[in-house]
Amino acid sequence: MISREENARMTLTGAAAPAGKLMRLYWQPVALTEELAGPRPVKAVRLMGQDLVLFRDEQGRLGLLDRDCPHRGADLSYGRREHGGLRCPFHGWLFDVEGKCLQMPAEPEGSRYCDRIRQGAYPARERNGIIFAYLGAGEPPAFPDLDCFIAPDSHSFAFKGHMECNWLQALEVGIDPAHASFLHRFEEDESTETGYGKQFRAASIDSNIPMTTLMREYPRPIIEVEPSPFGLRLLTRRPLNERQTHLRVTNLLFPNAFVIPMSAEMTIVQWHVPVDDTTNYWYAMFTSFGRAVDKDEMRRQRLELYQLPDYTPRLNRSNNWGYDPEEQRTKTYTGMGFDINVHDQWACESLGPIADRTREHLGTSDKAIIAYRRLLLRSIEQMEKGETPIMVLDRAAAAGITGPASMDAIGPAEGWEAYWKDVDRKRRGNASWAKSAA
Ligand code: FES
Ligand SMILES: [Fe+2]
C-alpha cells in the first residue's frame, strides 16, 4: 500500500523534492534536435518545473540557461542571438552558453559589474536526435553505451509527444505487460504487416499467429521481474500449448525510461520526462538493427496524431480521446481507434493529473510496477544517505551498460530462457555497430 507521503516522494520532481533531486542526477531529454532547426535556434523549454531557454550560439554550441534574465527577470527565450551569445531584449545584457555575462551596454563605460553576474547554465548534449540536459550539481554522469546512443544516425529516429499527467503513471504503463491483452485488443485480426501505432496487430516473430489473436486469447501472462545493472528486466510469457510459449522481454531503464521491441528489427527506448508535476513528454528513440530508417516517413506517420510546435496529440481529454461507444462494442476494446498510442494516452491521462496511489488495489500482474516503485524509493533513500544510486555512471561503468536486449517472439516452452537471448544475439549480429547486450 502506498501512503500519501510515498506517493508525493515518488512523483514530485521540483528541485527540492526527493524524486526531483534523484532525477537531477541523470541526463534528461529536454528537446528534439529538430526543434532547434530553422533560422532561429532558440527555444523556451520547461523541465521538472524549471523554465529554461535552449539555444545554439553562432558557433553552433548548445546553451541551456535559466529563462529569467538576472537583471530584472525578462524572458530570455525572446533574446537576440548575436555577438557570441543570447542577448536580453530589455536592456541588452548578453550571456554566453556557460551563463557568463559578456556585456551590459547600459552600464557606465569600464564597469566590471558584468564579472559578478552569472546566469544559471546547464550542460546539454545531443545524441541521435535528442538534446539531453543535466540539471544536477557537479559533473554529469557518462552516457551508457546503449544501442540507442551508439547506433549510427541512419539507423535511429527520435520523436516526442505531450501528456497531461505526472511522469510516473505514464512510465508505469510502459512496464505493465498485462494491459496489452485488454487496452490494445482488436476484435478482428488483420494482416500481419507491421505498422506504426499497430504494434499489437503485427505478427510476433517466428509465428503466423497474429499478435491480435495472441493477446486476446492469452490474457493471463506469467510475468517475471529481474534486477539488472540498468534497472529491471521484465520477462513475460503467454504459454500457448505444451511446446510453445509467446515471449516478450522488455526493460526498465532507470530512472525514467523503458526499452521495448517494436518489430523484428527495431527497438524503442522511451523516456517519460517531467515538464512539471502534472505534465510530461514522452521522448522515444527508435533503433533499427536491420535496414536504415526512413526518417521522413516515420515523422509523417507520427504527425498524423501529434501537432507542432508542442507535439500535442490531436486526441486527448478535450475530445474524449476520440471515444466511440459503437466502435467499442464491435471493433476495439477502448473505442478509441486503432492507434495504440491513443489507448496509452488515455490509460495515462485518465488516472488524473497525479494518480492517487493510496486508492489502488494492485494484483499479481502489477509485479513490475511494484518492483519499480521499490527501486525508486530505495534509490531516493540511497541518494539521501550520500550513496550513489543505480545508473549514475562514470565512463568505465557506462561502457558496461549495453543493449539492453529485448525481443518478442514465439519460443519453446522448455528452454525459452536461452532461446530469447539467442533471438536478440542474432538480431544484433546483423548490425556492425551493435555491442553484445546486457
Ligand atoms: S531584464 Fe534583461 S537586460 Fe534588463
Ligand atoms: Fe500500451
For residue 88 and ligand 1, the question of a CB distance below 6 A is answered with: yes
Nearest-atom number in ligand 1 for the CA of 73 is: 1
Distances 253 to 101, 391, 406 between C-alpha atoms, Å: 38, 9, 12
Q: Which pairing describes strands 156-163 and 222-228: parallel, antiparallel, or unpaired? A: unpaired
**360-376: pLDDT as tens digits:** 999 999 999 999 999 99
Total residues found in the chain within this entry: 438
Region 7-24: what's the mean pLDDT? 98
Q: Kindly identify the ligand whose nearest atom is closest to the C-alpha of 75.
A: 1
**Among 53, 87, 90, 104, residue to substitute to test ligand 1 (most atoms within 8 Å of Cβ):** 90
Q: Which of 365, 380, 374 is nearest to 175 (CA)?
A: 365
According to the 3-state scheme, what is the secondary structure of the chain?
CCCHHHHHHHHCCCCCCHHHHHHCCCCEEEEEHHHHCCCCCEEEEEECCEEEEEEECCCCCEEEEECECCCCCCEHHHCEEECCEEECCCCCCEECCCCEEEECCCCCCCCCHHHHCECCECCEEEECCEEEECCCCCCCCCCCEEHHHHCCHHHEEEEEEEECCCHHHHHHHHCCHHHHHCCCCECCCCCCCCCCCCHHHCECECCCCEHHHHHHHCCCCEEEEEEECCEEEEEEEEECCCCEEEEEEEEEECCCEEEEECCCCEEEEEEEEECCCCCEEEEEEEEECCCCCCHHHHHHHHCCCEECCCCEECCCHHHHHHCCHHHHHHCECCCCCCCHHHHHHHHHHCCCCCCCHHHCCCCHHHHHHHHHHHHHHHHHHHHHCCCCCCCCCCHHHHHCCEECCCEEEEEECCCHHHHHHHHHHHHHHCCCCCCCCC
For residue 80 and ligand 1, the question of a CB distance below 6 A is answered with: no
Which pLDDT belongs to residue 214?
A: 83
Which pLDDT belongs to residue 207?
A: 63
**156-167: pLDDT as tens digits:** 999 999 999 999
Asked whether residue 81 carries a pLDDT value surpassing 50, the answer given is: yes
Distances 153 to 15, 143, 297, 326, 391 between C-alpha atoms, Å: 33, 17, 15, 43, 24
Which pLDDT belongs to residue 362?
A: 97
Place of cell 507535439: 311
Instruction: Enter the C-alpha cell of residue 196.
Output: 506504426
**Protein residue with least CA distance to atom 4, ligand 1:** 91
Q: Which amino acid is at 170?
A: A
- Is 109 exposed, middle or buried (CB count within 10 Å of its CB: 0-12, 13-18, 19+)? exposed
Q: Kindly identify the ligand whose nearest atom is closest to the C-alpha of 336.
A: 2
Which pLDDT belongs to residue 187?
A: 83
Whether the bond between 210 and the residue before it is cis, its omega within 30 degrees of 0, is: no
Share of the chain above pLDDT 70, in %: 95
Asked whether residue 62 carries a pLDDT value surpassing 60, the answer given is: yes
For residue 76 and ligand 1, the question of a CB distance below 6 A is answered with: no
Asked whether residue 193 carries a pLDDT value surpassing 60, the answer given is: no
Region 351-366: what's the mean pLDDT? 97
Which pLDDT belongs to residue 190?
A: 61
**260-313: pLDDT as tens digits:** 998 889 999 999 999 999 999 999 999 999 999 999 999 999 999 999 999 999
**Protein residue with least CA distance to atom 1, ligand 1:** 72
Asked whether residue 215 carries a pLDDT value surpassing 90, the answer given is: no
Distances 286 to 269, 283, 434 between C-alpha atoms, Å: 7, 10, 14
Which pLDDT belongs to residue 203?
A: 47
Q: Which of 27, 9, 28 is nearest to 19 (CA)?
A: 9
In angstroms, the CA 391 to CA 398 distance is 8
Asked whether residue 255 carries a pLDDT value surpassing 80, the answer given is: yes
Region 135-143: what's the mean pLDDT? 97
For residue 93 and ligand 1, the question of a CB distance below 6 A is answered with: yes
Asked whether residue 213 carries a pLDDT value surpassing 90, the answer given is: no
**408-417: pLDDT as tens digits:** 988 999 999 9
Region 199-225: what's the mean pLDDT? 76
**Which phi and psi (to 5°) does residue 373 adopt?**
-60, -40
Mean per-residue pLDDT of the chain: 94
